[in-house]
Amino acid sequence: MLRVDPDRLRADFDALAAIGGTAAGGVNRPTFGDAHLAARAWFLERAAAAGLEAHVDAAGNHSAVLPAAAAGAPTLLLGSHLDSVLDGGRFDGGLGVVAALEALRTVQDARLELPVALEAIDFTDEEGTLVGLLGSWAVTGALSPEVLRAPRGGRDALLAGLARVGLAEERLADARREPGSLAGYLELHIEQGPVLERKGVEIGIVTGIVGSRSFRIRFAGAAAHAGTTPMDVRRDAGLGAAAFVVGVRELVVRAYPGAVATVGNIRLEPGGFNVVPGLAHLALEFRSPDAAQLDALEAALVALAHGLADAHGLEVEIEPVGRWEPTSLDPAVRAAIERAAGALGLSTLELPSGAGHDAQALAAVTPSGMIFVPSRGGVSHRPDEYTAWEDCVNGANVLLGAALELGSSECPFQQ
Ligand code: HGY
Ligand code: MN
Ligand code: MN
């Protein structure tokens, strides 16, 4: 049974965690920032050091490639992402990329000749600092002009980011791969939730990924003197925003079981102690595994915003800035992951993902699957995000085993 080299994997993981590393033990690698670019350069250096082909596509996706013996063979993608949320953890995305690289090196060292090429890929902007799944949507042809017109991070930030790294918006779509050129997609990722740890299970086999929608909401009232303006004549945008935040939670808890919603950012203008806020800008995101529930929740949240605006004498603008559909992952890939974990004597559990992932994009064009490893306390998107190293190595070995099975025939899914 082929296994990864745990020491080589650990050396890579620790070296990567130091790039953009924070004093609290996390990482800060927002898309196209200095740390993110340094991490990507490091990844290509490691690929070259291993004698693998290095490749960067028109959407900035960075890859290490172990070619197949035969020219024109399909490619099995093993991936994740090197970008992070602000002040995030060192495992989210990074583990999947270094494990993918280690799987390629292990196959190369073993001189295995597979009928597929293996490609370890770091997708651009998975976390949505700019767009969300930017690189994997480009690969799958899902990067529509609408998405680029009103992206989550703002159009100006997107254009500035692309310019910073020399990417052309009109060329992003050139990163698209013909589905027939892909043999499948596998991603190792931390669970980012508490289930595996609570159940004492070593490997999660992901059944599906939630859908998610993001909106920018702007309440507009009237700035006013905080001392001389009577309470009954104010048009306080901050009050409307606060009522909305409370109302969002109340609505979802009461009427939308299985869904979640977050107002992750509020900015009041002008923002002084002695001025009643005239403007409130909110970042709203909500998720559900069910598309119909997302539609219903979206309608209810829009109605809530308008109702509160009326109640507080405010205007409200609601702008959609992101939409990711709920996605099921491939049963044949899930079965291959199950067999790989079983061969290693590891316990498994099938579970959905409440986090979004690049697999959500890849699943639209090629059979895709995800391997989860436990997150301590279910914590993620925080510097103290942690997965025991033994679990990381288990996950990397399951990734390798599933890749060898799926990569052992050119058409692993026409059985
Ligand atoms: O937001 C998410 O669920 C993922 O971490 N991008
Ligand atoms: Mn994340
Ligand atoms: Mn992630």
Q: Give me the pLDDT at residue 120, please.
A: 98
The response to whether residue 127 sits with its C-beta less than 6 Å from ligand 1 reads: yes
Q: Give me the pLDDT at residue 116, please.
A: 97
List residues, by chain if needed, whose CB lies under 5 Å from ion ligand 2. Answer: 92
How far is CA 214 from its chain centroid?
A: 14
Ligand nearest to the CA of 79: 3
Q: Is the bond leading into 326 cis (omega within 30 degrees of zero)?
A: no
Tens digit of each residue's pLDDT (9 = 90 or more) over 323-377: 999 999 999 999 999 999 999 999 999 999 999 999 999 999 999 999 999 999 9
The pTM of the full predicted model, rounded to 2 decimals, is 0.95
Q: Give me the pLDDT at residue 1, please.
A: 85
Query: Checking DSSP bridges between strand 315-324 and strand 211-220, what pairing results, if any?
Result: antiparallel
**Shortest-distance atom of ligand 1 to CA 355:** 3
Q: Which of 362, 378, 292 is nearest to 328 (CA)?
A: 362
The response to whether residue 355 sits with its C-beta less than 6 Å from ligand 1 reads: yes
In whole angstroms, what is the distance from residue 83 CA to residue 35 CA?
Answer: 9
For 357-387, give one letter per residue: b (16+ CB within 10 A) or e: bbbbbbbebbbbbbbbbbbbebbbbbbebbb
The CATH fold assigned to 6-210+328-414 is Aminopeptidase (3.40.630)
Q: Give me the pLDDT at residue 203, please.
A: 98
Q: Tell me the DSSP string of 257-268.
A: TT-EEEEEEEEE
Ligand 1 atom 4 nearest Cα: 356
Residues of the chain with pLDDT under 70: 409-415
In whole angstroms, what is the distance from residue 70 CA to residue 67 CA?
Answer: 8
Quote the ligand 3 centre to 353 CA distance (angstroms). 11
Query: How many CB atoms within 10 Å of residue 273?
Result: 5
Q: Which of 408, 339, 347 is nearest to 374 (CA)?
A: 347
Domain ranges of the chain: 6-210+328-414, 215-324
Q: Which of 295, 286, 227 is nearest to 261 (CA)?
A: 286
Q: Which residues pair with 65 in a beta bridge?
A: 53, 119
Q: Give me the pLDDT at residue 393, please.
A: 98
Q: Give me the pLDDT at residue 414, please.
A: 46
Q: Give me the pLDDT at residue 411, please.
A: 54
In whole angstroms, what is the distance from residue 377 CA to residue 372 CA?
Answer: 14
In whole angstroms, what is the distance from residue 368 CA to residue 309 CA?
Answer: 43
- Tokens linked to 341: 């974990």
Quote the ligand 1 centre to 355 CA distance (angstroms). 5
Considering the segment(s) 215-324 as one domain, its CATH architecture is 2-Layer Sandwich (3.30)
